[in-house]
Amino acid sequence: MADSLSMSEKIASNIWTWYGQDEYRCIILVGELCSALEFLALEAAAQEREISCCLECSFDDDVTQYIDAFLRDYAGPLTPELRQGLEALQARYYHLSDAALLYREGERFTQEEWQAMRVGARHALDMIGWDEVKEHMGSLTDDCHAQLKKWG
């Protein structure tokens, strides 16, 4: 597997190749990362509807976990710009102000700090090429999980 992508190449362009090479973990990491980025890219009202309970539980357990796992475990090619963008999103979350984390119904995710995260998430999704593979990733990641489970 190559260490980096050209600045114009997107991770999504490798998904089917990885599937053919049994690189299931890379596909799962990309799928999980992009589901987290999709949440971050939503407008405030949509984000509030998506959160199942308190912000800390849902956000820490899903969104930040997937970004952290991708940055830690992804061994596929990655542009420096995408890595830096994901690291910046991660840092922004870990440095959110108390006001940004405070639960006020109808006002969650409305602080300017969240808007910066939305912009960063949308840019990351674009750099990944998420729109090119999004429709297939649900079934593809399910299959990848099944393949990994089968092999141990």
- Residue with the bigger pLDDT between 26 and 103: it is 26
Residues 135-141: what's their mean pLDDT?
A: 96
Residues 112-118: what's their mean pLDDT?
A: 94
- The pLDDT assigned to 2 comes to 47
- Neighbour count for residue 135 (Cβ, 10 Å): 9
Find how far residue 101's CA is from the centre of its chain.
Answer: 20
Q: Per-residue b/e over 16-45, b at no fewer than 16 CB within 10 Å?
A: eebbeeebbbbbbbbbbbbbbbbbbbbebe
Q: What is the pLDDT of residues 54-105, one digit of tens each?
A: 555 556 567 889 999 999 999 888 999 999 999 999 999 889 888 888 777 7
User: What is the SS3 assignment for 38-101?
Assistant: HHHHCCHHHHHHHCCCCHHHHHHHHHHHHHHHHHHHCCCCCCHHHHHHHHHHHHHHHCCCHHHH
Q: What is the pLDDT of residues 33-65, one digit of tens each?
A: 999 999 999 999 898 888 766 555 556 567 889
Between the CA atoms of 51, 142, 64 and 42, what dihedral angle is there, to the nearest 10 degrees?
A: -50
